[in-house]
């Protein structure tokens, strides 16, 4: 079983991908159109602010076979480097204090309710959650959270953790010309990253191995990253590869 997920953000200050591509909800629609052609379900984790500020664009997404999950209200209010550092030191994660997390999760949930959606699943922006986050999510009746990365078995009772077990695009692929002025996070000169086509080969191998071992594959592929990378050319190939597998939404996940 394939669980394909994507994250969609409201405006992030100084985000270079958004400067190139524009509104992430537009990229999300292109993403879903490709999935529809390949008969694939998905889950998009979206900032609550998107529902408040761009309800018509979000309604367009619901025409597809997609679940909408929570992704904080507005990326922690675009914390700066200093605030993020302090939160890591004091609370163990960028998301910050219990008070701030509680307020943000409730605000996100309220945005979903005002829009007419139930928020059943959650992914914290940049995976910056901690045990406090999970307790607050439980209190707010969130059933699924997908914040963990790696070969971790899905687990949980009142809240089910669905870890991402396939290499994530934004922390794996490299692209961009090698120039001093092009020091974006995905520039080809960035140490430790690989070319997008190599990443695709890894995806294929990992999914084939998971299927043989009866392990569900959970992917995170960002719509805006696929747009900026090559205007969805690689994503078309990924979707065609995934077509032969059964797919589902995070809210449909069942523990074995």
Instruction: Flag whether pLDDT at 85 surpasses 90.
Output: no
Helix (H, G, I), strand (E, B) or coil at 119: coil
Give the β-pairing of 42-46 and 66-70: parallel
pLDDT tens-digit series, residues 160-203: 999 999 999 988 886 655 444 444 545 544 556 788 999 999 99
Please tell me the least confidently modeled range out of 2-11, 74-83, 211-220. 74-83
Q: Are 181 and 146 in contact (CB under 8 A)?
A: no
**Running DSSP on this structure, what letter comes out for residue 194?**
E
Tell me which of 3.30.360.10, 3.20.20.370, 3.40.50.300, 1.10.760.10 is the CATH number of domain 2-167+216-252.
Answer: 3.20.20.370
pLDDT, residue 189, reads 46
Distances from the Cα of 54 to the Cαs of 47, 48, 51, in angstroms? 11, 10, 6
Which is more confidently placed, 90 or 188? 90
Please tell me the least confidently modeled range out of 112-121, 136-145, 175-184. 175-184
pLDDT, residue 172, reads 85
Please tell me the least confidently modeled range out of 153-157, 179-183, 229-233. 179-183
- 149 phi/psi in degrees, rounded to 5: -130, 135
SS3 for 9-69 is CCCCCCCHHHHHHCCHHHHHHHHHHHHHHCCCCEEEEECHHHHHHCHHHHHHHCCCCEEEE
Instruction: Flag whether pLDDT at 26 surpasses 60.
Output: yes
Distance in angstroms (rounded) separating the CA atoms of residues 173 and 20? 18
């Amino acid at each position: 079983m394939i669980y394909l997920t994507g994250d969609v953000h409201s405006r992030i200050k100084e985000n270079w991908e958004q400067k190139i591509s524009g509104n992430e909800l537009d990229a999300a629609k292109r993403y879903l159109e490709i999935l529809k052609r390949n008969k694939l379900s998905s889950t998009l984790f979206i900032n609550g602010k998107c529902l408040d500020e761009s309800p018509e664009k979000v309604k367009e997404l619901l025409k597809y076979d997609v679940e909408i999950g929570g992704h904080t209200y507005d990326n922690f209010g675009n914390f700066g480097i200093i605030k993020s550092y302090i939160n890591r030191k004091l609370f163990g994660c960028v998301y910050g204090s219990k008070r701030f997390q509680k307020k943000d999760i409730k605000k996100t949930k309220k945005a979903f309710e005002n829009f007419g959606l139930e928020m059943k699943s959650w992914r914290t922006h940049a995976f910056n959650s901690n045990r406090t986050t999970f307790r607050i999510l439980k209190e707010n009746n969130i059933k699924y959270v997908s914040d963990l990365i790696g070969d971790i078995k899905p687990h949980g009772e009142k809240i089910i953790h669905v870890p991402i077990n396939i290499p994530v695009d934004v922390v794996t692929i490299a692209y961009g010309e090698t120039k001093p002025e092009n020091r974006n996070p995905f520039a080809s000169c960035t140490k430790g990253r690989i070319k997008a086509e190599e990443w695709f080969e890894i995806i294929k191998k990992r999914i084939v191995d998971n299927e043989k071992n009866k392990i569900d594959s959970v992917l995170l592929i960002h719509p805006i990253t696929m747009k900026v990378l090559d205007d969805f050319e690689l994503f078309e190939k990924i979707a065609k590869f995934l077509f032969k597998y059964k797919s589902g939404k995070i809210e449909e996940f069942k523990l074995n």
